[in-house]
Structure 1
Amino acid sequence: MKIILSRKGFDSSTGKVASPIFPSCELCSLPIPEARPNSGAKRYEEIKIGELSLGMIVRDLTRGKIQGDAPAHLDPDLNMGSVARLANWKPVFGQAGAAERHLQNHGVKEGDVFIFYGWFRQVEQLAGVYRYVKHAPDLHVIFGWLQIERRIPVEKRCEIPLWALDHPHCRRPTYSPSDSVYIATDYLKLPGMHIDKPGGGVFRRFHPDLCLTAPGASSRSTWRFPGWFSPGEGKAGLSYHANPGRWTQEGEYVLLKSVGRGQEFVLDCEEYPESIRWLSSILELSEM
């Protein structure tokens, strides 16, 4: 089995602001703007988190640079309640181009688990307007997961379930010749572990164990993992992070200066058997 740390949502180049951590500690990953014109994409104002429309949230946090009627690239699509659904819907994720080739080159397949993370920051609401809390830190936070039941190249349109055809990567034209969608399993299945969770979903509330950024770090890209996570002899380690100079032992932990490029970072659980229990402990933080 493999674990894929997958960078998604607003970032410094697309969206240009952090996704919010609300005063209630609720997490809301903001999908990036849809780049293709006339794509039929959902608008931010059509997407919900609970009773809130993302339209108001993106308008406030971007100070009007992105309006509520702008089209959104709702991917990964993990939350049943975010938009209206057809019957039999499941969480789904699309990938294309160099990032998709990276996944295939690392043998990502059925049963492997995507762990989605993004850039987050605490917000508050004053006079009905959302804004970032002054001096609140920028953090990389895990917000969702998806275990792969099936990968479908979008060129095989006849194999894509009807309920998934509304996904951004299933609309024409495709993003690249290597465009694919990943469908979630019904329930999580981890080797040697019992975990009663669906195959895909979101972490609704912030928890310190969902935060990749090291406590007190000056950069959100400095991460802290258990000590066993560091690369070693005969281990490929986390993809894109083979350089030993990126890793620093700190007691029982290891710090990683994560790369700025790349979207998908792959870890082979056969090389790191401890990773299964680590993954399970994270997934247990989700709320049914």
Structure 2
Amino acid sequence: MRLEFTKMHGLGNDFVVIDGTRQAVRLDEATLRHLADRHFGIGCDQILLVEPPGDPAQALFRYRIFNADGSEVEQCGNGARCFARFVREQGLTEAREIPVETLGGRIVLHVEDDERVRVNMGAPVFAPERIPLRAEREAPAYTLEIEGHPITLGAVSMGNPHALILVDDVARAPVTEIGPLIERHESFPRRVNVGFAHVRDRGHIDLRVFERGAGETLACGSGAAAAMAILRHRGLVDADVEVSLPGGALVLSWSGQAEAPVWLTGPATTVFNGWIDL
């Protein structure tokens, strides 16, 4: 099978994007892992697949996200921005407001005049059973035992599960040591993305994210939205925040109201187009 693809990134969080509307695509876990392999495949953090929508009255496309380990996930903010640029650049739509179906629910992508993409990430969900998180009741913070040591973290769903740990310095945070242990902790039955955040002031957050099924990435859009939502929910940041990640900065907005969506704005970049024989 010859597969055409586009390599893209959002602040260094990189993707292989595949149009499944104009070519036959068969992606099993082994194929996905091969595509993501940086030595023997193309190399990426995630694979994004464009498909026709299940309900054309509600969405223009179906947007599917696969991690480097072959697992399918619900949400990816950086991927959503790349998705919006891709479908316009490929001539699949001329719309600047693009509703799409995802495994985590319907989201709407807005391509602005400067070609940055603004994403309605949906309302944050703090109820433990909907994250999902095994906990007796909803709380601003939870404590897990990690190798005999208590770790305090916040938790939220942004269409996918996120945990957040506050640190004094993200550069020295134990992301690669603690991230995998929390990702697969029994308290998170569907695993979890793990953020390490430092609040510089009420308008600025420094963040690193260990992504479920991918490891640490240069940027994580849903992780930035989760960090902003958790910290805003605790009253530690304002309604508009710049989140600095290793790959660059994203702008997040959330009123703090229960049903209001978090908005994410940032760039999306096309690197090259190509094909691969599978």
Shorter-chain TM-score bucket reads: under 0.3
> What TM-score comes out, normalization by structure 1 length?
0.25
The structure carrying a bigger strand percent of its residues is 2
> What TM-score comes out, normalization by structure 2 length?
0.25
